[in-house]
Amino acid sequence: MQNILLNIDAGTIDWSRAQFALTAIYHWLFVPLTLGLAVIMGIAETCYYRTKKQFWKDVAKFWQKLFGVNFAMGVATGIILEFEFGTNWSNYSWFVGDIFGAPLAVEGILAFFMESTFVAVMFFGWKKVSPGFHLASTWLTGLGATISAWWILVANAWMQYPVGCAFNPDTMRHEMVSFAEVALSPFAVDKFCHTVISSWIIGAIFVVAVSCWYLLKKREQQLAVESIKIAVVVGLIASVGAAATGHKSAQSVGEVQPMKLAAMEALYNGGTDQGLTAVAWVNPFAQPDYENLKEAPLKIEMPYALSFMATNDIHGFVPGINDILNGYTTPDGKTEPSIEEKMARGRLAIATLSDYRKAKAGGANEATLNAYLAVLDKNMPYFGYGYLRDRSEAVPYIPVNFWAFRIMVGLGCLFILYFAVLTIMAFRIPLLSVIVRRLLAAFFIIPESEADSHELTRLPAWHYWVPIALLPLAYIASESGWLVAEFGRQPWTIQDMLPTWAAVSDLNAGSVMLTFILFLILFTTMLAVEISILLKQIKKGPESASLNDK
C-alpha cells in the first residue's frame, strides 16, 4: 500500500480524474442493467404477443417495473459528466470542439424523444394502444437506450482514436471534416458491440438472480422458471458474444493503442509469436520496473494467444512497452518512432502553433503562415507528446490494467460456463443435461442423489444462491472493462493529442475535492435508494394474483 500512497498527487489533476471516474463508474451501474433488462422484457412481451396468455403479460409487466426503477435512478446521472467537462476540463472541452459535442447532442435529443415517448407508451399504454404498438414501444424503449449508448461510445471512441477531424490553429479547436468517419469509426463500432453485448450479461444475471430468489422462497415459481429460460439464452449469447467482440476490440486496441495492450498484458518486451499471460506476479500497488525486467515474474502463458488476439495471426508481431518507448519496426516494414522522437515532434508542433498565432496577430503574409501550417500539420499527430517531460509519462499504470483485464476476462469465462450449464439444465437438453449433471456429481459439486433431477424448482438451495453471488461479480466485470479502457489510455485525454495535465482547468484542488465528496454522498445515497426500492418491489413480486398461485 505504501508505494501507491506515495505516488498519489492530491492535486487538481488527480482529484479531477478521480471525480470523473467516480461519476462514470456510478453512472455505469445503472446503464448496463437498463440495456440488459430491455432485451429480456422485450422477449417476455413478444411471448405475450404471440401466445396472448395473461401469464406472459404479467411476466413482461413485472420486469418492466424493475426496469422502470433502474431507469428512474439512472436518468440524468450522465449529465454531471458534461458539467465536469465544462468546469474541470475546460482546455479539453475547447480543444475537442464540435467533435465531442455533436454525438452528445444527437444522443441527448434522441434519448429525450425516443425514451420519453416509448417509455410512456410502455408503462401507460397497456389499455390505450394495440398489443402490436405496445410491443413495438417496448422494443423501441430498449433500442432508444441502445442508440443513446451508441452516441456516448462514439464520443468515447473518438478520444481513444481521433478520426474525421482537423485542427484549426486559429480557433484552437478540432473541426469535424467527416461526420461518417466519426460516427462509424471502426474503433467505435467494436467498442459499441462489446459494451452493449456485455451489458446484456448483467441483465441476464439480474433476472436469473431474482428468479432464483423466488425459487429459494418457493414463490412465483412459474414466473421464475420461464424468466430463467429467457435469461439463460440471452446470457449465453451475450457472454459468448462478449468474448467474440472482446477479441475484435483487443485487435482495435492493438492497432491504435499498442501501449494500452502492452500494459494490459504487462508485456515489457514484445515480438512475434507472443503468448497471452494467464497469470503472472504484477504488484498491484507499484509500477513494475519494466525497463529492466525481461518479463513479469512467475508468468504462465498460453502460447501464441496474444499474437492471435491482437493480429489474428499466431505469428503476429505485438510490441511491448520497451519497444514502444524505444521505437520499433514491424516485420512488414512499418516503423514507429521512439517516444523521444515523438516528444521532439510534439514540442515542434506546439512551438510552431505559438509562432503561427504570433505571426497571424502581427499581420504576416500568407506564404509565411502557410509555411508554419505545413510544419504544424506534419507534426500534429504527435502534438500531445510535447507535454511529456520524461518517457515514463507515456506508460499507463500497469497494475490496474493488468489485473482489471484479468478480472474481466476471468469472470467473462465464468459466465460462459455458468450460462452454458444453466441453459442445458433449464431446457433439459436430453443427453447434455444428463452428462452435465453426472459430471457435477462426479466432482462432488452436487450430491449423487441429485444427479438425475431435472426440475429447476427442486434444486438444493445453494444452486439458487450462485446467481445471487454472481450478480455483483457481473458488475465488477463490467466496471473492470471500463478501468482497462480508461486507465489504459493514460496519460491521454485524447490519444496522442492532449495529456490530462494539459487538458485540466486551472482550478483549486480543494474545490474539486469538495465536489468529489459531495458526489460520493449523492451517488451512494441514490444507489442505496435504488437497491432499497428494487428489493421492496422484488419482495412484493408481480402484481397479478394469478402468477402468485402458480
Partner 1 sequence: MEKQGFWYKAFHLYYDGFRSMTLGKTLWTIILVKLFIIFAILKLFFFPNFLAQHADEGEEDKYVASELIERAK
Enter the DSSP assignment of 318: B
159 within 8 A of 494, measured Cβ to Cβ: yes
490 within 8 A of 397, measured Cβ to Cβ: yes
Answer for which of 221, 269, 326, 505 binds partner 1 (CB under 8 A) is 505
Answer for which of 350, 376, 407, 483 binds partner 1 (CB under 8 A) is 350
146 scored as a contact of partner 1 (CB under 8 A): no
Answer for which of 11, 14, 98, 173 binds partner 1 (CB under 8 A) is 173
494 within 8 A of 95, measured Cβ to Cβ: yes
Nearer to partner 1, 7 or 354 (CB): 354
94-118 burial code (b ≥16 CB/10 A, e <16): ebbbebbebbbebbeeebeebbeeb
Q: At what angle do helices 366-379 and 339-361 cross, to 10 degrees?
A: 160
Query: What is the grid cell recorded at 410?
Result: 476471468
Answer for which of 522, 527, 538, 541 binds partner 1 (CB under 8 A) is 522
Nearer to partner 1, 179 or 501 (CB): 501
Q: How far is the CB of 213 from partner 1 (least distance, A)?
A: 19
Q: How far is the CB of 158 from partner 1 (least distance, A)?
A: 19
Answer for which of 171, 329, 457, 546 binds partner 1 (CB under 8 A) is 171
First to last CA, the chain: 54
Max alpha carbon distance in the chain (Å)?
A: 91
390 scored as a contact of partner 1 (CB under 8 A): no
Nearer to partner 1, 164 or 346 (CB): 346
The identity of residue 218, as a single letter, is K
- How far is Cα 144 from Cα 438, in angstroms, rounded to an integer? 44
Phi, psi of 302 (to 5 degrees): -95, 115
90 scored as a contact of partner 1 (CB under 8 A): yes
Nearer to partner 1, 461 or 545 (CB): 545
Binding residues with partner 1: total (CB under 8 A): 52
Answer for which of 18, 25, 49, 68 binds partner 1 (CB under 8 A) is 68
51 scored as a contact of partner 1 (CB under 8 A): no
- How far is Cα 358 from Cα 347, in angstroms, rounded to an integer? 17
Nearer to partner 1, 3 or 171 (CB): 171
Q: How far is the CB of 223 from partner 1 (least distance, A)?
A: 18
Answer for which of 50, 128, 315, 428 binds partner 1 (CB under 8 A) is 128
391 scored as a contact of partner 1 (CB under 8 A): no
- How far is Cα 429 from Cα 104, in angstroms, rounded to an integer? 46
Site string for partner 1, 309-348 (x = CB under 8 A): -------------------------------------xx-
Q: How far is the CB of 63 from partner 1 (least distance, A)?
A: 14
261 scored as a contact of partner 1 (CB under 8 A): no
Q: For partner 1, which stretch binds (CB under 8 A), given 170-178, 220-228, 234-242, 405-413?
A: 170-178
Answer for which of 289, 366, 506, 549 binds partner 1 (CB under 8 A) is 506
- How far is Cα 407 from Cα 401, in angstroms, rounded to an integer? 10
Nearer to partner 1, 303 or 510 (CB): 510
CA atoms within 13 A on the CB side of 262: 26
Answer for which of 18, 21, 22, 75 binds partner 1 (CB under 8 A) is 75
494 scored as a contact of partner 1 (CB under 8 A): no
Nearer to partner 1, 93 or 211 (CB): 93
Q: At what angle do helices 186-217 and 131-160 cross, to 10 degrees?
A: 130
Q: How far is the CB of 498 from partner 1 (least distance, A)?
A: 8
Distances (CA, A) of 214 to 84, 374, 546: 42, 68, 15
542 within 8 A of 548, measured Cβ to Cβ: yes
Helix (H, G, I), strand (E, B) or coil at 493: strand
Nearer to partner 1, 244 or 518 (CB): 518
187 scored as a contact of partner 1 (CB under 8 A): no
Nearer to partner 1, 14 or 295 (CB): 14
Answer for which of 357, 450, 453, 520 binds partner 1 (CB under 8 A) is 357
420 within 8 A of 236, measured Cβ to Cβ: yes
- How far is Cα 250 from Cα 254, in angstroms, rounded to an integer? 6
403 scored as a contact of partner 1 (CB under 8 A): no
Answer for which of 105, 518, 528, 531 binds partner 1 (CB under 8 A) is 518
Enter the DSSP assignment of 112: I
Burial class (CB in 10 A: 0-12, 13-18, 19+), 143: middle
Enter the DSSP assignment of 9: -
170 scored as a contact of partner 1 (CB under 8 A): yes
387 scored as a contact of partner 1 (CB under 8 A): yes
- How far is Cα 26 from Cα 80, in angstroms, rounded to an integer? 11
Nearer to partner 1, 120 or 166 (CB): 120
56 within 8 A of 48, measured Cβ to Cβ: yes
| DSSP H or E segment with residue 269 | none
Binding footprint of partner 1 on the chain (CB under 8 A): 65, 68-69, 72-73, 75-76, 79-80, 83-84, 86-88, 90-91, 93-95, 120-121, 123-125, 128-129, 170-173, 346-347, 350, 353-354, 357, 386-387, 501-502, 505-507, 511, 514-515, 518, 522, 526, 529, 533, 537
